[in-house]
Amino acid sequence: MSVRGWAIAVTTVVGLAASVVATTAASSAPGCEGAAPADAAALLECVTVDTVRAHQRALQDVADANGGNRASGTPGYDASVEYVVRTAREAGLTVTTEALEFPFFEVESESLESDGTEYVAGTDFATMSFSGSGDVTGTAVPVDLQVPPRGSSTSGCEPVDFADFPDGEIALLQRGTCPFGVKAANALDAGAAAAIVVNSGETPENSGLLQATLGEPVDLPVVGATAALADALAGATVSLATTSQSGTRTTTNVLAEKPGTGDEVLMVGAHLDSVPEGPGINDNGSGSAAVLAVAQAMAGAETARTVRFAWWGAEELGLVGATSYVTNLPEPERARISAYLNFDMVGSPNAVRFVYDGDDSDAVGAPAGPEGSAAIEDVFEEFYDDRGLTHEGTDFNGRSDYGPFIAAGIPAGGLFTGAEGVKTPEQAQRHGGTAGEAYDPCYHAACDTFDNVDTAVLDQNADAVAYATYTLAS
């Protein structure tokens, strides 16, 4: 799952390679015992958690063989694509791949120290995407901070915020109001040698580590940090060092299709890439594996709508693959899409069964999705309710690959089991798990491995993916 939102990256499609397999579908999918599923109940029998876990194991093996990650633009991602393409072809699906260029960023090293305290990368601070490199020691000079926070901060959003800023020092900024790239550019123009952007701190979710992007390369070392570092660093002597690479690389979307009897297309997707920090077996090996298992099982099914399964590239860098696909799809083809289903993190170890709030019935955050999104939400809620499984809504905030689809007016929905957010006591009492801990304590970390999964929840959600896909394709 991206921490960045959807519309930040401009991509160029550099090629489309289609590989058409034999028209006869594979005789069976794992768990089907030779028969193509004739209804949703039969499909659920075909989609087993053992199959999903086998796909996750394959992705873990890919990461292990390629430096510990499967990030877009790396050999680990290319090997993940090869695995999905091969598996989908063997199931009898028509597979195409779409290559696209994207702005690449990688952190090689990072450190932050003040008054003898060495802060922990990935816990206390993190280099912002497209930060420059540098090794700086100076005073952390607060720039219009709100401590304690009183609302949305405007820290660093205007050049006037840096009036009398001492040349060569480190700007201590705060999240809020304007893009991080604007804050960094203003700091650079004011003569800052580096910048630290602390989280805003007005809510628990905005108090932890700030991981974000500058949107485009900035010739200044810039890190995000927890809200607590505002007090700890203000006025102190700080040593900050970052080494990073920025450039252009190529990633790949994978599309696998089974035909329907009508003209409409149901799309079902998950992002295939991990962050550079780890193998990404929950984020988003869980969604990728569940979608792949359903695709295998549905290859021979008869449905009214064509089902087009998608594994997106470079989601973690700003929904690059999905945005490129929607942007470059001709309008007549876009109009054929009846709905898009998204599955990003569906097996978190401290999970809540979240359903995207398509009708905005929770009245939290973003408004309702395009017409038809509420009906998709109803399908998932019906699945859970019929099985006595607890669930709740989650904001339709465009943070995953459904973002460009709803921006284009396409109905969407899907499932999510939580990322860095903290489970409340009320949620723990209702859904189980541990209050006061993140839904996924290994979110965007090296420990997001094969073992970082609630297998029972993954099993339930793989069935939910299958049920919703068959129901909405019929």
DSSP output for 397-458: ---STTHHHHHTT--EEEEE--SSSBPPHHHHHHH-S-TTSBSSTTTTSTT-STTSS-HHHH
Q: Are strands 306-312 and 265-271 parallel, antiparallel or unpaired?
A: parallel
200: which residues sit within 8 A by CB, 6+ positions away? Answer: 146, 149, 152, 153, 174, 175, 176, 206, 207, 227
> Which spans in 92-241 are helix H?
180-189, 229-233
Instruction: Give the DSSP H or E segment for 194.
Output: strand 194-198
SS3 384: helix
Give per-residue pLDDT as tens, 63-108.
999 999 999 999 999 999 999 999 999 999 999 999 999 888 889 9
SS3 195: strand
The answer, yes or no, to whether residue 19 has pLDDT greater than 90, is: no
CB count within 10 Å of CB 429 equals 10
Give per-residue pLDDT as tens, 97-154.
999 998 888 899 999 999 999 999 999 999 999 999 999 999 999 999 887 776 678 9
| pLDDT score, position 188 | 98
CA distance 253 to 98: 5
As a whole number of Å, the end-to-end CA separation of the chain is 29
pTM: 0.79
- Residues composing the chain: 474
Catalytic residues: 315
Q: Which residues of 48-67 are buried (b: 16+ CB within 10 A; e: fewer)?
A: bbebbbebbebbbebbeebe
* DSSP secondary structure letters along 248-300: EEEEEEEEEEE--SSS-EEEEEEE--B-TTS--TTTTHHHHHHHHHHHHHHTT
What band does 4 get if pLDDT is binned at 50, 70 and 90? very low
> Which spans in 299-372 are helix H?
320-328, 331-336
| pLDDT score, position 104 | 84
Give per-residue pLDDT as tens, 456-470.
999 999 999 999 999
Architecture of domain 116-235: 3-Layer(bba) Sandwich (3.50)
What average pLDDT does range 202-220 have in this prediction?
A: 88
CA 237 to chain centre: 36
Give per-residue pLDDT as tens, 400-455.
999 999 999 999 999 999 999 999 999 999 999 999 999 999 999 999 999 999 99
Using alpha carbons only, what angle is made at residue 409 by residues 10 and 407, rounded to the nearest 5 degrees?
35
Give per-residue pLDDT as tens, 308-318.
999 999 999 88
Is 12-103+249-473 a CATH 3.40.630.10 domain?
yes
In angstroms, the Cα distances linking 46 to 52, 294, 304 are 11, 8, 20
Assess contact for 40 and 466: CB atoms under 8 A: yes
* DSSP secondary structure letters along 63-122: HHTTTT--BTTSHHHHHHHHHHHHHHHHHT-EEEEEEEEEEEEEEEEEEEEETTEEEPBT
| pLDDT score, position 22 | 29
Nearest by Cα to 468 from 323, 328, 338: 338
Nearest by Cα to 381 from 356, 362, 344: 356
Instruction: Give the DSSP H or E segment for 355.
Output: strand 354-356
Give span(s): CATH 3.40.630.10, the chain.
Answer: 12-103+249-473
Nearest by Cα to 462 from 28, 26, 30: 30
Q: Is 408 exposed, middle or buried (0-12, 13-18, 19+ CB in 10 A)?
A: middle
DSSP 315: G
The answer, yes or no, to whether residue 14 has pLDDT greater than 60, is: no
Query: 341 φ, ψ to 5°?
Result: -110, 135
Cα dihedral sign, 228-231-234-238? negative
| pLDDT score, position 23 | 26
Give span(s): CATH 3.50.30.30, the chain.
Answer: 116-235
What band does 34 get if pLDDT is binned at 50, 70 and 90? low
| pLDDT score, position 150 | 67
